[in-house]
Amino acid sequence: MKILQLCNKPPLPAVDGGCIAMNNVTQGLLHSGHDVKIISISTYKHPFRKENYDPYFLSKTRFEAVYVETKVNVVDAFSSLVTSDNYNVNRFFSTDFDKALITALSEEEFDIVHLESLFMTPYIATIRRLSNARIVLRSHNLEYIIWRRMAESTGNIAKKAYLKYLAKQLKRYEMSIIGQVDGIAAISHEDAKKYLSFGLEVKLETIPFGIDIEDYRPTVASAGNEKSLFHLGAMDWKPNIEGVMWFTEEVFPELKEYNLHLAGRKMPKWLIDALDPQIHNHGEVIDALAFMDQFPIMIVPLFSAGGMRVKIIEGMAMKKAIISTEIGAEGINVKDRDNIMIANTKEEFVEAVNQLTADPILIKRIQENGRRLVEREYNNLVLTERLIEFYKVLLA
Q: What is the pLDDT of residues 355-385, one digit of tens each?
A: 999 999 999 999 999 999 999 999 999 999 9
- Does the CA dihedral 156-157-158-159 come out positive or negative? positive
244 and 134 in a common domain: no
171 and 115 in a common domain: yes
Domain that holds residue 74: 2-210+379-395
195 and 223 in a common domain: no
384 and 328 in a common domain: no
337 and 192 in a common domain: no
The answer on pLDDT for 78 being more than 80 is no
The confidence score (pLDDT) of residue 370 equals 98
Q: Which residue has the higher pLDDT, 223 or 10?
A: 10
User: In which band, very low, low, confident or very high, does the pLDDT at 72 lie, cut at 50, 70 and 90?
Assistant: low
Look up the pTM and report it. Answer: 0.83
Once rounded to an integer, what is the mean pLDDT over residues 139-152? Answer: 85
The confidence score (pLDDT) of residue 79 equals 43
**Total domains, the chain:** 2
- Nearest partner of 238 among 321, 315, 303, 191, judged by Cα: 303
CATH number of the CATH domain containing 274: 3.40.50.2000
Q: What is the pLDDT of residues 317-357, one digit of tens each?
A: 999 999 999 999 998 999 999 999 999 999 999 999 999 99
Q: Which residue has the higher pLDDT, 360 or 142?
A: 360
What does pLDDT average to over the chain? 91
191 and 243 in a common domain: no
387 and 310 in a common domain: no
User: In which band, very low, low, confident or very high, does the pLDDT at 130 lie, cut at 50, 70 and 90?
Assistant: very high
33 and 169 in a common domain: yes
